[in-house]
Structure 1
Amino acid sequence: MDNRETGKVAIFVDYENLFYSMHNKYRAQPDPMDFISIAREYGQIMTARAYGDFEKNPYIKNEVPKLRAASFEVVHTRTEVVGGKEKSYTDFKIVEDLFVFKEENRDVAIIILATGDGHFSNIVARLKIRDGRRVIVVGVKGSISRELQMAAGKDDVIEITGISYEVDLEDLKRFIAAQEERYRYLTFIRTAQAYLEKTGLPTEYRDFCFKKIVIAMNRLIDDGYLEQVRIMRNDVPLNIIKVSGGKDLQIYG
């Protein structure tokens, strides 16, 4: 269900959290324009801030030009050594700024909080229940805390991966035609898996990309290029796929 609305929007980005989550999960880096694009779908952006220790943290220091190019106000937060361990104060600064912002900008009804940190679940719940704001949580898929998702509500959680993969339908057609020349029977799932192997994508991307391949193969069925047929093989029913009609494509091999 699409509950998007138009109005005034503010976006607060816990950039350190997103940077490390995306790197660890997908070996990718955040694109600040992705957050701007998401925010635009909800209305006019009044405030866009990105938080992190951009001065001392060597991994995110070089991200500042990208953030500024995307019109973000870069907010430097501090990191201190407490009890022999580094302690980031990014979450404290974001919470502090959220409290000030919601009091000074009562006409901004939608707040986008980009993070996966469960420490923000209380402020999200407060903004929604006590202040009547709509809070959209944007986080890295597989790295958003359960508490934060519950506070926002399932319709107001957006998962991102930082990876982009689109199936080349013509390449997929050639691959399937070649597989049909090579094997007597093709099944839907095994063909999708074989095409995924051909791509040579890293393991951490495979679930995401496999779903894209399945969608593309279903499209080929809907378009009439592929057809699904049930046959009997050794007295056992088997669902196979086959190329419909003539093959005017150059096939692999």
Structure 2
Amino acid sequence: MSKPLAVDLSARAGAPKPKAVAFVDYEHWLFSLQNQYHMKPDPFRWANNLKDNYELNDIRFYGDFSQEAMSRELTRIRQVSNQVIETKNSSENYRKDFTDFIMLDAIYQTAIFSKDIDVFILFTGDGHFNSVTSFLKNNLQKSVLVYGVKNSFSNTLKAASSSWFEIPADNDIFLNCYQLILQYIAYIDSKSNGFRPTFWNAVHSVAEYNQLDENLVNASLSQLIEQGYISEKIETIRFQKQLKVLIVDWEKAIRDNLWDPNT
């Protein structure tokens, strides 16, 4: 669970919002989220949530945008900020640390030359940022809010910060899994071969195809059944064998924005 925000990090009613600057390691955000949860970053939503509490006029995105997956994200990023800092290392011995070094230099320079900043917001899970986080908080008395992707977020960095949040939130993880389950069942239904998946068939298939934890898929499918989006029905198949198969209430799923038939 994320550490609660300290009282001095958010704007009190009637008080001016604290001035903040954000530094985002987009490679961490994109690849950690994609590899672990098969989800995409939503920088627009993230930035808007921050702007509810902070005067946030400076958001800087760092990464090697020469990579195809990173390049495809530029349109989404530029909805939020035009400050996109290319960190491609031309050395044959490429190291991801190069992005960290460039970010660290920018954070220290901002701390030195922009005295009016109240809050430093970092999006990274890397322990390389422990020292700068401690420096900002303990030496300069700045508040440091750190975001990181769940299961790719240094515990020592969390401890060094004033406050931290993990992405994705549990609700977002379940929502994503709901959609993957519905996508799988829709695909099976489209085959029109009379086959319908059972509970465990769906769990195994969705988990294996998307490289997700079976316990997460199990819990998500159970919730879809409890909430009435999916029901289980006994059907007789070949050789009079009976199976309990999954039936989706597609109208309910569409109405509640869990499923888009056009996707």
TM range (shorter): 0.5 to 0.7
C-alpha separation in 2, matches of 1:14 and 1:142? 16
Pick the aligned partner of 2:120 from 108, 111, 131: 111
> Which residue is equivalent to 2:20?
9
Q: Secondary structure at the match of 2:146?
A: strand
Does 2:165 match 1:158?
yes
Q: Describe the shift of the 1:199–1:159 C-alpha distance in structure 2 as closer, same or farther (beyond 3 A).
A: farther
Q: Secondary structure at the match of 2:78?
A: helix
- Give the gaps of 5 or more residues in structure 1: 169-192, 220-253
The CA deviation at 1:78 is 2.4
Pick the aligned partner of 1:102 from 111, 124, 147: 111
> Which residue is equivalent to 1:44?
55
The CA deviation at 1:19 is 1.4
Alignment check: 8 A CA contact 1:51 1:76 kept? yes
Q: Describe the shift of the 1:197–1:132 C-alpha distance in structure 2 as closer, same or farther (beyond 3 A).
A: same
Alignment check: 8 A CA contact 1:26 1:204 kept? yes
Q: TM-score, normalised by structure 2?
A: 0.61
Deviates more, 1:26-35 or 1:118-127: 26-35
Pick the aligned partner of 1:30 from 21, 41, 48: 41
The CA deviation at 1:37 is 2.9
Give 1:132-171 correspondences, 5 Å limit: 132-152=141-161, 156-161=163-168, 163=172, 165-166=174-175
The CA deviation at 1:71 is 2.5
The CA deviation at 1:70 is 1.7
The CA deviation at 1:109 is 0.7
* CA deviation vs aligned residue, 1:11-52 (integer Å, no higher than 9, x gap): 110011221111221122211113303422431102100001
Pick the aligned partner of 2:88 from 78, 90, 96: 78
Q: Describe the shift of the 1:139–1:5 C-alpha distance in structure 2 as closer, same or farther (beyond 3 A).
A: same
C-alpha separation in 1, matches of 2:44 and 2:158? 23
Q: Identity over aligned residues, as a percent?
A: 25
Alignment check: 8 A CA contact 1:112 1:137 kept? yes
Give 1:84-233 correspondences, 5 Å limit: 85-88=93-96, 89-152=98-161, 156-161=163-168, 163=172, 165-166=174-175, 197=203, 202=210, 204=212
The CA deviation at 1:206 is 6.3
Q: Secondary structure at the match of 1:157?
A: strand
The CA deviation at 1:130 is 0.5
Q: Describe the shift of the 1:80–1:158 C-alpha distance in structure 2 as closer, same or farther (beyond 3 A).
A: same
Rg comparison, structure with higher value: 1
Q: Describe the shift of the 1:70–1:85 C-alpha distance in structure 2 as closer, same or farther (beyond 3 A).
A: same
> Which residue is equivalent to 1:182?
none
Pick the aligned partner of 1:58 from 60, 68, 71: 68
C-alpha separation in 2, matches of 1:17 and 1:24? 10
C-alpha separation in 2, matches of 1:209 and 1:34? 26
Alignment check: 8 A CA contact 1:12 1:113 kept? yes
- Give the gaps of 5 or more residues in structure 2: 12-17, 179-198, 228-263
One-letter amino acid of the counterpart of residue 126, structure 1: F
Q: Describe the shift of the 1:34–1:116 C-alpha distance in structure 2 as closer, same or farther (beyond 3 A).
A: farther
Query: Between Structure 1 and Structure 2, how many residues are aligned?
Result: 191
C-alpha separation in 2, matches of 1:197 and 1:119? 38
Alignment check: 8 A CA contact 1:10 1:47 kept? yes
C-alpha separation in 1, matches of 2:116 and 2:53? 14
One-letter amino acid of the counterpart of residue 22, structure 2: I
C-alpha separation in 1, matches of 2:115 and 2:221? 45
C-alpha separation in 1, matches of 2:166 and 2:118? 21
